[in-house]
Amino acid sequence: MLHYEIVKQAEDSSARLGQLQLVHHLVDTPVFMPVGTQATVKALSSEDLYEIGAGIILSNTYHLYLRPGVDLIEKAGGLHGFMNWQRGILTDSGGFQVFSLSKLRQIRDDGVYFNSHIDGSRHFLTPETVMEIQQKLGADIAMCFDECSPYPCSYQEAARAVERTTQWAERCRNAHNRRDQALFGIIQGSVFPDLRETSARGLTALEFPGYAVGGLSVGEPKADMYAMLDLLDTMLPRDKPRYLMGVGAPEDLLEGVRRGIDMFDCVLPTRLARHGSAYTHEGRITVRNAGFADDFRPIDAECGCWVCRNYSRAYIRHLIKAGEILAHRLLTYHNVYFLTKLMEEVRAAIAQDAFMVYYNGFMAKYKF
C-alpha cells in the first residue's frame, strides 16, 4: 500500500515537494534514506534514527537472506519488529550485491546462481524467490530483481541487462501479492541514452507504483549520471515517486532533486565515518588528519546535532587515533544527521519557491 502526492512543483527546476504515505509512516520527499544493510544503520540505534528524524531506511535482501535468514525475521514480526523500527523500510532486491560477486555468480535467464561470501554455500535466486524473501521481510517498499550493469560495460552487455531486467520485472510483478507492500521497478541501461529510454518504456508499461534508477554512481563520470537523469526526468510518470539508488554525496543529492528525484540512499555517510571523515557545509573533512589535533571547533559550526554541540574535532581525532569505537558513533550520527537536515532544508526551499537559490548558495560554499 502506497500513496504519493506532489504537494508543490518547483517553478525553477524539476524539483518537487511530495508526501509518500506508507503503511508505517508518512514520508516527506525529497528524502535521504540511511542504509541499514544488516537491519542496523551501522553504529546507530533505532532511537538515534528517530532523534535524527529519519523517516525511512533501507535494508539489504541479499545480506539478510544469508544471515540471519528470512524465516527468523518473519517470525520476529518482519523487519519492523526485528529491529524495533516503526517508520518506513525499503528493501533492495539484492541484485546489486549478487552481480558484484563477479567471480562467485553465474547469470541465467531464469535467475542467478551465486556462492555466499560468508561460507561459500551455493544459492539460486530468481525473481520469484526474491519476491518471496522480501514479502517475508515485510518492508513497506520492495524492489524488483534486476541486473545491474557494471561500469564500464559494452553496449551489448548493457542491452542484455535491460532485456533481462524488464523480463524479471514482469515476473516479479506477477509473483508479488503482499498488498501492504509496494513494489518498485528498476530502470537500467548504463550510460546509453537509447537503452535507458528502452528500459523506462518497458517498465512504465508494467505500471509499478514507483520507479528506481539503478546502475548509476558505479564509477561513471558525474556528467554522464546527470545526463541520464535529465533524460529520465522527461520519461518517468510525474505522479509516481522516483528513487535514485546508491547516491549520497551532498552535491549529488541536490543535482538529483533538481532533476525530479524524490528518494536517495547510500552507505557513504556511515562508510566515511568509519574512515574518520565528516560532512560540513564547506565540504568534506578528514578528522583523522594531523591538522585537527588541536582544533577545538565542532565538526560543523552550522550543524545543530548533539555531536557538534558537545564535542570538538580534536577530541574526535583523539578517539580515532586511540581506536575507540565512540569515534565511529559520533561521526556516523553527525553524517546521517547532516544529510537528513540537508533534505529538510531542500524541502523548505522548494516550499518557498527558492530551490535554485538554495542550490546555488550551497554549491558556491561546498567544496568537493
Q: In tens digits, what is the pLDDT along the chain, a chain of 368 residues?
A: 799 999 999 999 999 999 999 999 999 999 999 999 999 999 999 999 999 999 999 999 999 999 999 999 999 999 999 999 999 999 999 888 877 777 778 889 999 998 898 999 999 999 999 999 999 999 999 999 999 989 999 999 999 999 999 999 999 999 999 999 999 999 999 999 999 999 999 999 999 999 999 999 999 999 999 999 999 999 999 999 999 999 999 999 999 999 999 999 999 999 999 999 999 999 999 999 999 999 999 999 999 999 999 999 999 999 999 999 999 999 999 999 999 999 999 999 999 999 999 999 999 999 98
Count CB-CB contacts under 10 A for residue 228: 23
Grid coordinates belonging to 150:
557494471
The domains of the chain are located at 3-266, 267-368
Q: Is 31 helix (H, G, I), strand (E, B) or coil?
A: strand
Rounded Cα distance between 198 and 35, Å, is: 29
Nearest CA among 361, 293, 298 for reference residue 322: 293
Fold of 3-266: TIM Barrel (3.20.20)
Q: Catalytic residue at 146?
A: no
Grid coordinates belonging to 317:
581525532
Q: Catalytic residue at 71?
A: no
**From the candidates 92, 140, 146, 262, which is the catalytic residue?**
92
Q: Is the whole model's pTM more than 0.75, yes or no?
A: yes
**From the candidates 146, 252, 265, 300, which is the catalytic residue?**
265
In degrees and rounded to multiples of 5, residue 131 shows phi and psi of: -65, -40
